[in-house]
Each structure stands twice: as C-alpha cells, then as structure tokens.
Amino acid sequence: MTLKTKYRTLLLVAIGSVPIVLLGISVFMSILYDKVFKTKNNGIPFHESFAYPVMLLAFVLSLGILALLFSTSIHSLLTRITMLNQTIRELASNERIPDTLTVSSEDEIGQLIQSVNLLIERTTYRELELAQQQELQKELLQKLRHDIHTPLTAIRLQLFYLEDQLQEQPKLVESLNAQIHYIANLTNELQYQSFDTSDNAFVVQEEVHLAFLLETMIKKWSYLYHMQNIALHFHPIDAEVIWTSNELWLQRLFDNVFQNTLKHAQASKLVVTIKEGEVWMCDDGIGFDSDIEHSGLGLKIIHDIARTINMEASLQSSKDGTTFRFTQP
C-alpha cells in the first residue's frame, strides 16, 4: 500500500470513527443509566445525573485513545525517516559504512530504504575495490623501487671498477655518482606520494640554498644544452636566498622546466635568474598559447609539484619566448 493510500484511508477512518465512538458511548451510557441507576436516583433525568459528567469524561478518554492510535502510524513514519537521515549522514561522513537497513513495507519509504541499501552496497564495493587497488599499487611500487635500485647498484659497482681508468675525468665520475644518488632519492620519495595525485604527498621541509641548487643543476644540464646549441645563463642577483622547501622536489620542478625548454621551446638560450626572492626561467623560443590545454605532462607536473610544496608558479608565453616564475609565499 502506498503512503498516499495509507494516510488517505487513515484520515477517512479518523473522520468516521470519532462520531461513531461518541455516539456509541452516549447511547451505552443512556441505556446503562436507565436500566441500573435511574430508579435508584428517584427518576432524575440523565443530563442532571452523575452519569452525564462520566459520559463526558468517557468522550475525552476515547478521543485521547483514538489520537494515540492514529499518531502511532505517524510516529512510525517519522522513525523511519530519522533512521534514513542518520544512515545517509553516516554514509557521507566517511567514518564507516553503515549496515544495510531492513525493509519492513513496500510503500514509498520502503522503496527509499531499498535505494539507500543499493547505495550502501555500491559504496562498500567501491571502498573494497579502492583498498584492493591501493594494495596492488603499493605492491607494484615496492617492486618498481626494487627493480630500479638493482641496476643502480650494478652501475655503482661498474663505476668503482672503472674509476682507475677515469682518473683523468674525476668530474665525470662525480657527476655520474650524483645522478645515481638523485635517482635513488626519487625512488625513495615515491613511497610518500599518493597514487593518483600529489595533493596528499608528504614533503619534508628543509632549508634550500637556491643559488647552490640551481648552479648544480645548470652544470648537470649544460652538456645536453650545449649539444642542442642552447646557451645557459645563470644570474644569481640574490645569491643568498634560502627557501624553506624540499631540495628533491625543487630539483624535480626545475628539471621539468629544463626538459621542456630543451625538447619543445626551439630556443637559443635559457636565462635563469634569482632576484627579489623569486626564480625566473626565461627562454627565447617559439612559445605557445598558455590558454590552450596541452597533452604533454611537463606543464601539469610543474604545476602539481608547485602546489604540493606550497609554491606559486606562473607562466607567460608568446612568440618571443616563455617565462616561468616561481615564488614561495
């Protein structure tokens, strides 16, 4: 039975039952008084006898009983609505997934409870599926870290054996060791990052000397830039600037700018400047329309890393070149 039919029937019963009950009580009291008490009261009329106020009291009691009976149905409806409200709030709170509810009727509230049960079952499935995917991704990540560390260890051993032969090029050996150390740190850092986004990544804050960091990175990239006939210029106007950030994440951030310029800018020079506490990286390449969404990951990674380490990254690009500006609030 639908709620509309149920409460329409209840209303009709209430309207019909009240006069019937009142009439029945009055007739019953009149007959009872005439048969039992009228002769004992010397023929006093019913409306002047004690039976009349008793009848009025019976009217009040009967109306109260009827109101209680009819309110029970409304109370049941409100109880189910409250239960649904609490269940939906628990489902939305992410604290725990509530148990499915018992469907006690086939009315609209019962259909709503069935829909909420479907939502609970779907949410439970998605939570279990997500937990399973995260465990699988965690396992794959651990394997990937192990697979990366294995060839790095082999490269270190090979450098150890080749060190005597490369005595005339100690900077080359030092640079290779530094790159191996950098890749190893990157794989260790993966365990702190979220699988789907860097928003929840854990970042250790430390003091970073910008001039020293950028000078080291320019030395690293200078060979590749030289091979592509791109000049690298470094102007540490504020050479003593220190940021409270993470050196490894900053390297990843600036590496993506160096790589984008090298691969896509078609530039003849890249100028890196530290001034007024900010880092400017400007090239004279062909530029691009920054308002158009690009399919490459480089720009997205730059903005994601900047957001992760709480930095402001702005980009300006035109046919005269591209400028990246990084600021720590």
pLDDT beyond 80 at 46: no
Whether pTM > 0.95 for this model: the answer is no
Q: How many CB atoms lie within 10 A of CB 152?
A: 16
Q: Tell me whether residue 61 is in a domain.
A: yes
Whose tokens are 């870290």? That residue is: 145
Q: Write the CATH number for 321.
A: 3.30.565.10
Question: Are 244 and 222 contained in the same domain?
Answer: yes
- Type of residue found at 188: N
Is pLDDT larger for residue 36 or for residue 297? 36
Q: Compute the radius of gyration of the chain from its Cα atoms.
A: 41
- Predicted confidence at residue 153, as pLDDT, reads 61
pLDDT beyond 60 at 265: yes
For residue 19, give the nearest of 74, 51, 71, 59 by alpha carbon: 59
- Predicted confidence at residue 275, as pLDDT, reads 93
Query: Using the 8-state DSSP alphabet, how is residue 137 labeled?
Result: H
pLDDT beyond 80 at 136: no
The residue out of 55, 80, 95 marking a domain boundary is 95
Tell me which residue range forms the domain holding 277: 204-325
- Predicted confidence at residue 58, as pLDDT, reads 84
Instruction: Indicate the number of domains in the chain.
Output: 3
Question: Are 87 and 138 contained in the same domain?
Answer: no
